[in-house]
Amino acid sequence: MLLLSLMLVGGCFLSAAAAAPLSPAGSLSDEEMRKLLEKSLSIVEIDNELERIEARRSGLDEAISLTKEKLIRQEQDIEKQRETAGRVLRSYYTGEHAALMSAMLSFRSFNDLLATMDYIELLFGNDRQTLDDYAKQYDKLLKAYKNQEKEKREMNDLTAALIAQKERLSALQHEVDAEVNGSANAEQLRLLIEELGNLWNTTGIYEVKRYFKALAEAMNNLPQWMQDNPGYLQADGLSYSLKLPDTALNEFLVSQNELFRNFTFTFDNGTVTASGQEGSLNVSVSGHYSVVDEPKNGLMFHIDKLLFNGLELPDTTRRQTESEFDLGFYPGQFISFLKVVSVEVEDGNLLIKLSVSL
């Protein structure tokens, strides 16, 4: 079990634990140890997620306050506009403008007619502007109300997420504490869990983000590389097929960043897997592509599993990483008239079907 622990956490901090061999009595199996360490890492990451939620809640609370102040000002402005617009409309209904029309029909000279028409045009132009201003202010106020409702719904969602994650954190912590306390090596396990958390927070999370940042930058350049290497694209009437081998993708990645010399993509049976190692730290991600049309047509990469030194990170980390780094592929960036219609992953190849977008 100690050997597995050393492998999982990089073998960089267990000197204290290694000094006292684990007792067979009450010790955990390798699989139990792996699950325990995954739970402990999930606790660290859920705690980080709670901090992110609290930060978003704080920012949203400030935004709601600003929206409320803006609504008060807009309600005051539109009240003034409503009074002005009301006067304009009343002048039409009470016939105040009828005298102007009579004056235009009873002119004594051509110059009087032109002067009267200019005045009427100016007056009616101001009336139209007044009514238009009122309509714009009213529309602006409605949008502000809708935005406020959206912010309140988001706040409710964040509050619910916060409560759910706190409950999840509490349950996981209870499980880990029970397993550790029930082990004959409780102190060593606590040390192992503590050091694993420290390793993740001080090094692991930054290494994962470094890889994903480099991947996102490289994938953004992939369409241009495809344009420079058109041999992977085949035409069939108004349809096209793109067959990209994982070996070609790996060559492209290395050309973009030396970091990928120790990083490999593989396409296999519907799954895209990427893994890399830097020193004693190992990062592995597996997922799949789906066709999307919004905000633009292309392929979006979904993370199904994310491993750090062999330990699976929780769904909160996957979602955060997926939202922070776009590993999608958008062929329309190199051939604007093409639209992705389907994607498949087979042994060693990514197969993309495209059609002409009319």
Does 260 share its domain with 175? Answer: no
Domain count, the chain: 2
pLDDT at 204 over 60: yes
**Looking only at Cα atoms, what is the longest distance across the chain?**
118
The mean per-residue pLDDT over the stretch 113-133 comes to 58
Does 28 share its domain with 106? Answer: yes
Ranges 48-57, 286-295, 346-355: which has the least confidence? 48-57
Residue with tokens 């929780």: 314
Q: How far is CA 49 from CA 44, 176, 316, in A?
A: 9, 19, 7
Does 301 share its domain with 161? Answer: no
Q: What is the pLDDT of residue 312?
A: 93
The mean per-residue pLDDT over the stretch 213-241 comes to 88
Task: Let me know if residue 152 belongs to a domain.
Answer: yes
Does 265 share its domain with 345? Answer: yes
Q: What is the pLDDT of residue 77?
A: 74
Q: What is the pLDDT of residue 235?
A: 87
pTM, to two decimals:
0.68
Cβ atoms within 10 A of the Cβ of 252, count?
19
Question: How far is it, in rounded angstroms, from Cα 325 to Cα 66?
Answer: 30
Q: What is the pLDDT of residue 145?
A: 79
The mean per-residue pLDDT over the stretch 174-186 comes to 87
**Of 23, 86, 37, which Cα lies nearest the Cα of 307?**
37
What band does 182 get if pLDDT is binned at 50, 70 and 90?
confident
What band does 81 get if pLDDT is binned at 50, 70 and 90?
low
Range of the domain at 35: 24-184
pLDDT at 316 over 80: yes
Q: Are 200 and 41 contacting, i.e. CB atoms less than 8 angstroms apart?
A: yes
Q: How far is CA 67 from CA 71, 72, 75, 152, 157, in A?
A: 6, 9, 12, 11, 18
Q: Which residues contact 258 (CB under 8 A, 6 or more apart)?
A: none
pLDDT digits (tens, 9 = 90+) for 31-52: 888 899 999 999 998 888 888 8
Does 103 share its domain with 157? Answer: yes
Does 166 share its domain with 227? Answer: no
The mean per-residue pLDDT over the stretch 202-223 comes to 90
Residue with tokens 């409309």: 89
Does 131 share its domain with 253? Answer: no
Does 172 share its domain with 261? Answer: no
